[in-house]
Amino acid sequence: MTDGLRRWLAPPRAAVPVIDDPALRRLVITEILVVLTVTLGLSALRGGLSLVDALLAPIPLNEQQVALNAPAARAGLVDLALQLTRVLQLVGWGSLGAYLLIRGGLALRAVGLDARRPVRDAGAAVGLATLIGVPGLGLYLLARAIGVSVTIAPTTLDDTWWRLPVLVLAAAANGWAEEMIMIGYLLTRLRQLGWSENRSVLAAAVLRGSYHLYQGLGGFVGNIAMGLVFGRYWQRTNRLWALVAAHTLIDVVAFAGYALVRP
């Protein structure tokens, strides 16, 4: 192992002071539990139950299909309104994490939400999206071939005038919500509780994989890997915008690309 790689994999020194006051620590722990209960933690519970239900079904797992963006109503405009409502919910989840950090005395630039390095953040986003997206596709195909992953349809929305804009908005909302909650908010709070960097990034990565369990074991393992890479990148660079953009790019390619090539 080279010295450069060893330094990258080694846990960095935390920059956020640890909270020592017992009463304040209890409040932070309660806050984390509440945030996860109403956002991605509850999604992890649903994902696990969905996988159990799929495994109990008489149909083999790789012959079952999951749609990531499915119609929510028969009437076109009602469906559009419901799709935008889902986007707004995800935006609200990420904004909740950002708001609580601000209320806790941290500026958003402290977690990398600033415009100081737009070009470098954009370049890092493309690199991270490639690093995660290409092997992730291979892992999905392998998992499906050996029967431990469902068939994933990125979208089953009808071919309407609003389909592509909604898919792009959904991709951006996913990136914002997941990276803000799982990286910007959760890893910062765990630092304040005195968790080690390795323990924090592993816990966040496992939780990320858990709310993708509805996709099968391939989605679980792939998203753990994504969480480890994204988490360590943030711990090393403190640039959250790069992760939000990378996640958005991955989902845009998956959602919009599938919609365009499926016919």
Q: Would residue 13 count as lying in a domain?
A: no
Q: In this structure, what token pair is assigned to residue 128?
A: 């991270």
Does 41 reside within a domain?
A: yes
Domains identified in the chain, total number: 1
**Do 5 and 228 form a contact (C-beta atoms < 8 A)?**
no
Say if 95 falls within a structural domain: yes
- Burial (CB < 10 A; 0-12, 13-18, 19+), residue 5, is exposed
Would you say residue 15 lies in a domain? no
The torsion of the CA quartet 63, 153, 123, 8, rounded to 10 degrees, works out to -30
**CA 243 to the chain's CA centroid:** 9
Ranges assigned E (strand) in 7-160: 65-67, 151-153
Mean pLDDT (10-residue bins), the chain, 263 residues: 58 74 97 97 96 96 96 97 98 98 95 95 98 96 95 96 98 98 98 97 98 96 98 97 98 96 75
pLDDT digits 0-9 by tens, 127-153: 999 999 999 999 999 999 999 999 999
Q: Which domain holds residue 148?
A: 20-261
pLDDT at 16: 82
54-78: pLDDT as tens digits: 999 999 999 999 999 999 999 999 9
- Residue 12 belongs to a domain: no
Asked, for residue 207, whether it belongs to a domain, the answer is yes
